[in-house]
């Protein structure tokens, strides 16, 4: 006998003496019939229930009024959320643009006032905005 045969025989002997071999062993035919029927009953439903389920849930199946109403409410709520989101963004953008314009007007007014003060040599009376 070669050393590979001896190693295989030793592994086989070790596996056969192990306690886990009973759990890994193939069960008897009568045990499988009991176990499989019990597990199949917990997984599968009766044929009549299944056909009724698929008849109610096909794509072409008519939906109940409650389902249609629920879907319509979801669509309306989604539209309302989108509308609110876009309104908030639009208001935020308008507020930002208004602030930018106000700041730009203030900078322009300040620079104009500085230019007038620098170029006023005293010969002319100062420019008064309220008089105009």
CA quadruple 86, 90, 91, 95: dihedral positive or negative?
A: positive
Q: Is the model's pLDDT at 119 over the cut of 90?
A: no
Contacts of 126 (CB under 8 A, 6+ apart): 116, 120
Residue 8: the pLDDT is 80
pTM of the shown model? 0.39
**Is 112 part of a structural domain of the chain?**
yes
Asked whether residue 80 is assigned to any structural domain, the reply reads yes
Is residue 24 in some structural domain?
A: no
Number of domains in the chain: 1
**pLDDT score for 103:** 96
- What is the number of other CB atoms lying within 10 angstroms of the CB of residue 36? 11
Cα 124 from Cα 132, distance rounded (Å): 16
Cβ proximity of 102 and 91 under 8 Å? no
Q: Is residue 11 part of a domain?
A: no
Domain of 59, in residue numbers: 37-118
User: Is 126 a domain residue?
Assistant: no
Torsion-angle region of residue 123: left (phi > 0), alpha (psi -120 to 50) or beta? Answer: alpha
Does residue 16 lie in a domain region?
no
Q: Is residue 23 part of a domain?
A: no
Residue 15 falls within a domain, yes or no?
A: no
Q: What are the tens digits of pLDDT across the range 16-49?
A: 777 655 555 555 555 555 555 566 566 777 787 7
């Amino acid at each position: 006998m070669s050393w590979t045969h001896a190693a295989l025989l030793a592994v086989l002997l070790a596996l056969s003496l192990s306690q886990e071999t009973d759990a890994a062993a193939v069960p008897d035919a009568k045990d499988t019939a009991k176990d499989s029927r019990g597990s199949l009953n917990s997984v599968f439903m009766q044929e009549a229930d299944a056909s009724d389920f698929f008849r109610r849930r096909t794509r072409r199946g008519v939906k109940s009024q409650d389902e249609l109403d629920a879907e319509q409410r979801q669509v309306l709520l989604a539209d309302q959320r989108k509308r609110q989101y876009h309104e908030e963004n639009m208001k935020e953008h308008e507020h930002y643009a208004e602030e930018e314009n106000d700041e730009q007007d203030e900078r322009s007014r300040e620079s104009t006032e500085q230019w007038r003060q620098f170029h006023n040599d005293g010969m002319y009376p100062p420019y008064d905005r309220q008089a105009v």
